[in-house]
Amino acid sequence: LREILCFPDPRLRLRADPVAEVDDSIRELVDDMFETMYAAPGIGLAATQINVQKRILVADVSEDQNEPYCLINPEILSRDGEEEMDEGCLSVPGFYERVRRAERIRVRALNRDGEPFELETGGLLAVCIQHEIDHLDGKLFVDYISNLKRTRIRKKLEKQAARDPGRGAR
């Protein structure tokens, strides 16, 4: 299990680098990310959140946690429509805010075996992938809300971290 960085940790603001070659060490990292995501529990996780600046995301929005997606060097090819939903984030625990994103996306990426594929999707998976790609660009869902709200969230999480420094490590 990997520690998940918490806002306002500046390392969450780093832009992740493309993966040059999908080798066994990348596959091991992907497996660690799935394990960390399912244990959180979460429906998505970006490598940035576990302090790895590589353009890798994992997602599984299925009820039975049996529809895993791994996108390496993801690129959104097209966006359609618009939808809003209350988003949470494993790096901003306990806070949910309405975020507007594209309703459907077409995305190209490499899979766990390093093969290119394209995915056209909507619904929660589309929202999740957009949320994770933001992480790879150093963006958080709190960047879409007002400064006042973001500051309040930052202060609450800083106070929590001061009270219970070990929480993130567990």
Ligand X SMILES: O=C(O)C[C@@H](Cc1ccccc1)[C@H](O)SCc1ccccc1
- Which residues sit at the interface with Zn ion, rule CB under 5 A? 89
Indicate which residues carry an active-site annotation. Answer: 132
Compute the distance between CA of residue 126 and CA of residue 5 in angstroms, rounded to an integer: 23
| Least spacing, CB of residue 132 vs Zn ion, in Å | 7
Q: Which of residues 108-137 bind ligand X (CB under 6 A)?
A: 124, 127-128, 131-132, 135
Q: Closest separation between CB of residue 85 and ligand X, Å? A: 7
128 is in an annotated binding site: no
Please classify residue 114 by burial: count the beta carbons closer than 10 Å to its beta carbon, then call 0-12 exposed, 13-18 middle and 19+ buried: middle
DSSP string computed for 120-142: EEEHHHHHHHHHHHHHHTT--GG
Please report how close the Cβ of residue 81 comes to ligand X at its closest, in angstroms.
16
Does residue 72 contact residue 56 with C-beta atoms inside 8 Å?
yes
**88 binds ligand X, rule: CB under 6 A:** yes
Q: Which residues bind ligand X (CB under 6 A)?
A: 42-46, 87-91, 124, 127-128, 131-132, 135
